[in-house]
Chains A and B, each alone.
Chain A
Amino acid sequence: MSEGSQGAAPCARLDLNTLQSTFEGRDPFAVLERRTGQVDACVISTCQHLLAPHLAVPFALAAAGGYGRRELFPCSDVDLLLLVGSENDVRQVKEPLSEYLRVLWDSGLRISHSVRTVQECCQFNEQNIELHISLLDLRFLTGELDLFHRLQHSLTDFYAHQGKRLAVRLAEMTRQRHLKFDNTPYHLEPNIKESCGGIRDLHVIGWFSRLYPNRPEIAETLISLQEAKRFLYTLRCFLHFESARDNNLLTFELQDEAARRLATEPVSPENWMRQYFYHARQVFGSAVRPLELAEAENSPLWRQIRERRSRISTPEITISRDRILLRHPALTLSSAESVLGLFTFAGRHGVRLSWDAQRRVRSEAARIRQSFLQAPPSWRIWREFFSMPHCALALQAMQESEVLTAAIPEWEHIDSLVVRDFYHRYTVDEHTLLAIQIIDKLKGNAPSAPARFRHLAAEEEDPALLRIALLLHDIGKGTHPGDHVRGSREMANIILSRFGAPESAKAAILFLIEHHLDLSQTMSSRDLHDPATARLLSSRIGTQEDLRRLALLTYADISAVNPGAMTPWRAEQLWRAYSIGMEQLTRELASERIHEAELVGKTSLPAEVAHFLEGFPVRYLRTHTQQEIEHHFALYRRSLREGVAIDIQREPHAWLLTVIARDQPRLFASLCGALSSFGMNIVKAEAFSNASACILDQIRFTDPLHTLELNPSEVNRLEWTIACVLKQTISVEDLLKRRRPAPRPARTAQITPSARFHDEASDTATLIEFIGEDRPGLLYDLASTISAAGCNIEVVMIDTEAHKAVDVFYVTRNGGKLNREMEEQLQADLIRAAAG
């Protein structure tokens, strides 16, 4: 022991128990004040006894950081600054200072100290931004007051000149910290100080309010967060007392204890955590705004983007500083439909609500809830909302402004819901929104996502169904914790009825919810090499479209569990499960046929309809509703009278041609030719035949020149022409001669045509899979080539993904499969036909 400390008893060891008694009243601010007072007394008296007598130079001792703000938590570090007059003085204070610090350590204080001159404190140091930030909260303790005032004076100048630069660096540091916590407050076991929406974010808002003194709204934000501050401060005091150290991690065990000890009335830990997330959400949302302010001022590029976006406006909504503002809030918030329109706008442009817009929407939450109940938006409006490229962002904005529970009251069951699971990192609602964000990224072709799943997402024509299924896939976790799949399905059924979803969409969404665990279970517990696994998958899933959506949903669901959940290993397994299922379903197109005897008694279909269905691929039953089947049966009866029945219907994004006729050579090719002669572009097609040689062809086509739309009479003429072609009173070749020749594939075409033949795909037919660059008339050329080779097209499934045609034909020749020689010849002919 050195001479100076002999006999000195500057302060007794600081005891947590005494401090804890202050906490019994649950007032964290009293604890902080008392702790700060205790430490002040200890630090100052020790300094006067041990340090001051041994310093021959002028000095001032100051508190920085949380200690400077008088916000010392029970086990927080104590930041001290020893201010000296010159560089030489720094060396002189070294020895007495070390003895002083040792005594403070022995008193139980965790000291963090620095010795600096006024000049050092006011020199911008890129490597030590934390120092400049901690000096914002500087407080005089003891020593030369003049020296301290000199520093304060210089710091005022320093912040006036360097404030913006400092704000930019603070924003960067905060963003990095948020990133460490995946940019979300919804961690099942959150760090209540550092994670998003934690106490550090409250400090950040406070620092920004000092760095931007001309932006009073930042300081006002802090006032509005008083309740959140009290909650978080109480919790941190509790954690420090419970752990007897600077612990800020709210583990499941501590959540149990906190719910028991801190809640004013009995509450389950899960429900108590909802209060935590409620406050953290407020704090995080408020902290992000000054960050954006600093970033926008720093980046000219950002300013340009912001200004460009400012031009995207509607009579009700405008964008300013990359935020949505409401021109006429009363009007926008007057109906459920217009409220949803506001968020559809956010989802379309990827822009969040301004602070003011959010505040206004939140203040109207009760009325908005009523309007969603009394006059809910139509299915068309909901579908449009869920089709937006930034749907997850829009849903997050709805969540932040409390509209999500107003629009879908069942959401409340999973709002901030903690389900304790070893693998899950986030609350159920956050997991759900993250999963939708992953779909948005896949659809947006984000390079960070694996190419295979991006391609799969590109094939998905109706992402709205997928997003709705994801939104509701875990909604039963709040009410049916043991069997959430059943709970989610039941709740989704009610919600979808309220949305006014048509039966087909409802069935597709409910299917996805019911089967959302199938693929993940298959990939981990089934032998993917075993044909039985493929058969099991195909029997449970039924159609290629459902399997594709299920694969995307599973990809998003697993990826949203935690950032490391979708390992390359799992992605590979999922892809393999998808591939074997897809292969099996394609194979079954020709082999799995409907049997009348199995339908009668098992379905509500009349016997005559069951007879009509005999021999169609099973896919037909899986992809059509009973209403559609009845419509087809009515067409079939018409075809018996008239020889052929043709029906053309307008759909939202395409036209649908349905043809029922007796089978005949070149029938499918003739249909394609007739459509091509009208300038129509075929995007999807299915051609089936039943046991009585009756064909049912359904072709979806677009009308690039809007001929049918602008001239309704042309629909009738198209129907008449198709009928004539099928009755062979008009020749397709003659029709096509009158049209301009189809354009050849562009030289820059990226897709090299390929035709693969699979003999083992069916017992009776050969499968041809053609992939190539799509062009008008392609399908007619391919179908004609197959017919010209003397082959009969049994089943067809045509798909188009952007510029790529994916065509599957099941063909026979003389009632059997093609031989090797025939395949080679036809392969060459098809490639030649594709080249035009």
Chain B
Amino acid sequence: MKKIEAIIQPHKLDDVKEALKSIGVDGITITEIRGHGRQKGHKEVYRGMEYEVDLLPKIKLETVVPDARLDEIARTIVASARTGKIGDGKIFIYDVAEAIRIRNDDRGEAAL
């Protein structure tokens, strides 16, 4: 099993959700986050007042998937989250040691 963690642009969330749903991925966790990569922050001047915009709003999407579907799902996220501009985000993939469904103690991929 693998955990996919994707940092995407907020306005792409609906597209990514739809794309994942269309390939049968329903279980995702969404978090509103702020951060920056190479895109970095900047100073914004509004009517003479300077505002530090060092952390830009992003969405973090997490899902744990069976190994066999990893590639397909990661590709789907990339395709649906891409605008081609700086700031589109990144995907990180982790190994998952175990998954347990609390309700009935299912283990492994059966718990996903």
Contact = CB atoms under 8 A, between A and B. Distances in A.
A526 interface: yes
A569 B33 CA distance: 7
Contacts of B34: 568-569, 572
B51 A771 contact: no
Given A567-B32, A569-B32, A452 B11 contact: no
A754 B55 CA distance: 26
A455 B49 contact: yes
Contacts of A806: 47-48
Contacts of B9: 527
A525 to B, nearest CB: 6
A309 interface: no
A579 B46 contact: yes
Nearest to B55: A572
A573 interface: yes
A778 to B, nearest CB: 14
Interface in B37-84: 44-49, 51, 53, 55-57, 83
B2 to A, nearest CB: 27
Contact of A528 (B11, B14, B33, B46): B11
Contact of A569 (B44, B47, B49, B57): B57
Contacts of A525: 11, 14
Interface residues of A, number: 27
Contacts of B83: 527
Interface in A709-763: 751, 754, 756
A452 B46 CA distance: 9
A771 B47 CA distance: 7
A570 B32 contact: yes
B48 A751 contact: yes
A526 B11 CA distance: 5
Given A527-B11, A570-B32, A754 B48 contact: yes
A448 B55 CA distance: 21
Given A525-B14, A569-B34, A771 B48 contact: yes
A749 B105 CA distance: 68
A298 interface: no
Interface string A340-358: 0000000000000000000
Contact of A529 (B44, B49, B53, B85): B85
Given A567-B32, A579-B46, A756-B45, A572 B11 contact: no
A772 B33 CA distance: 36
A804 B45 CA distance: 15
A719 B99 CA distance: 82
Nearest to A770: B48
Contacts of B45: 756
Contacts of B85: 529
Contacts of B57: 569, 572-573, 576
Contacts of A804: 47-48
Contacts of A275: none
Given A527-B11, A529-B85, A452 B51 contact: yes
Contact of A579 (B14, B44, B56, B87): B44
Chain B, interface size category, equals: 20 to 34
A378 interface: no
Interface string A759-801: 0000000000001100000000000000000000000000001
B47 to A, nearest CB: 5
Contacts of B27: none
Contacts of A573: 10, 57
Interface string A547-582: 000000000000000000001111011001001001
Nearest to B44: A579
Nearest to B56: A572
Nearest to B13: A524
B101 to A, nearest CB: 24
Nearest to B85: A529
Contacts of B10: 523-524, 573
A558 to B, nearest CB: 13
Nearest to B49: A455
Nearest to B46: A579
Contacts of B47: 455, 459, 771, 801, 804, 806
A199 to B, nearest CB: 34
Contacts of B46: 452, 579, 582
Contacts of B14: 525
A523 B49 CA distance: 22
A261 B56 CA distance: 51
Nearest to B86: A529
A567 B47 CA distance: 24
Contacts of A582: 46
B81 to A, nearest CB: 12
Contacts of B87: 529
Interface in A576-596: 576, 579, 582
Contacts of A801: 47
A567 B58 CA distance: 13
Nearest to B34: A569
Interface in A508-533: 523-529
Interface string B3-22: 00000011101100000000
Contacts of B32: 567, 569-570
B37 to A, nearest CB: 15
A807 to B, nearest CB: 11
Contacts of A567: 32
A801 B48 CA distance: 12
A572 B32 CA distance: 11
A363 B23 CA distance: 63
The listed residue with most A CB atoms (<10 A of its CB), out of B10, B13, B85, is B10
A622 to B, nearest CB: 21
A756 B47 CA distance: 10
Contacts of A568: 34
Contacts of A569: 32-34, 57
A754 B34 CA distance: 31
A745 to B, nearest CB: 14
Contacts of B11: 524-528
Interface in A185-207: none
Nearest to A772: B48
Contacts of A452: 46, 51
B13, B14, B48, B56: residue with the most chain A Cβ atoms closer than 10 Å: B48
Contacts of B49: 455
B54 to A, nearest CB: 11
Nearest to A578: B46
Contacts of A754: 48
A491 to B, nearest CB: 31
A455 B33 CA distance: 25
Interface in A206-242: none
A429 B32 CA distance: 28
B56 to A, nearest CB: 8
Nearest to B31: A569
A568 B58 CA distance: 12
A579 B57 CA distance: 15
Contacts of B48: 751, 754, 771-772, 804, 806
Which of A526, A573, A751, A804 has the most chain B CB atoms inside 10 A of its CB? A573
A524 to B, nearest CB: 6
A525 B9 CA distance: 10
A570 B33 CA distance: 10
A360 B57 CA distance: 52
Q: Which of B33, B34, B46, B83 has the most CB of A within 10 A?
A: B46
A573 B46 CA distance: 15
Top 3 nearest A-B pairs by Cβ distance? A771-B48, A569-B32, A527-B11
12 contacts: A455-B49, A459-B47, A525-B14, A527-B9, A527-B11, A528-B11, A529-B85, A529-B87, A570-B32, A572-B57, A771-B48, A806-B48
Given A525-B11, A569-B57, 14 more contacts: A452-B46, A455-B49, A523-B10, A524-B11, A529-B87, A569-B33, A572-B34, A572-B53, A572-B56, A572-B57, A573-B10, A582-B46, A804-B47, A806-B47
